[in-house]
Amino acid sequence: MKNMPKICIVVPAYNEEANIASVIGSLKTCNPEFTVVVVNDGSSDRTGRVAESTNQAVVLNLPCNLGIGGGVQTGFRFAAQNGFDIAVQFDGDGQHIAEEIQKILSPILGGTADVVIGSRFIDHGQAGFKSTGMRRIGIRIFSILNSIIVKQKITDNTSGFRAYNREAFCMLARYYSADYPEPEAVILLGKNGFRMQEVAVEMRARQGGTSSIHGLKSAYYMFKVITSILITAIRPLVKRETLK
């Protein structure tokens, strides 16, 4: 029998003690063979201790808060150093649905994509959580801008539900935005020739706690990400042969 790929589920978590145990449990129920890696990003609550108490996850406790980019990159570095074949980014707030992981794994397992993004916007008729009006405006702007730069329509550039083959996550283990990285990663991967694909997924409202991006922070976030996208667009290409 052909060996099954080693799959690492990277769960960045900041102050998610209300959600993290159920997130870990859902992932292990979905597939006990998943290696769940929780990156506790300097939380001020009991996120790390709650994750450790499940005895179902590898918990990496960062000494200070690095932001979502630093947390996810830490998980990718763990996956790269420990010989994983596929890394899945899966938020720690309970919005993503573990049973939908197979949707974003299938194109990679089938060899038709290097990166798969779970999109809320491909199937407009689907049920599920809808983000706020301000966020939807920002997502639309990112979609137009990124699609022009990478010459491929990407509808959900801010989605934190993604799967990467080894070469793709090894690249991001080296080169990744430290702040709000998802839209920039689309540019980085697209410019460097990685095959990207979107699949329709459902997402729920966060199951507890509050988002770090709200109110006036949403407008600041949009401005900051647009600036970062433009800077990323002019970065030199990466020599992919060094990513093996």
Statement: 7-237 belongs to CATH 3.30.360.10: no
Q: Which long-range contacts (CB under 8 A, 24 or more apart) does 54-63 make?
A: 54/21, 54/24, 54/25, 56/24, 56/25, 56/28, 57/11, 57/24
What are the residue ranges spanned by the domains of the chain? 7-237
pLDDT exceeds 90 at position 110: yes
Strand 162-165 to strand 115-119: parallel, antiparallel, or no bridges (unpaired)? antiparallel
Q: How does pLDDT run across 21-40, given as a tens digit for each residue?
A: 999 999 999 999 999 999 99
Give phi and psi for 38, each to the nearest 5: -90, 120
Report residue 72 as tokens: 């996810």
Residues above pLDDT 70, as percent of the chain: 82
pTM for the full predicted model = 0.84
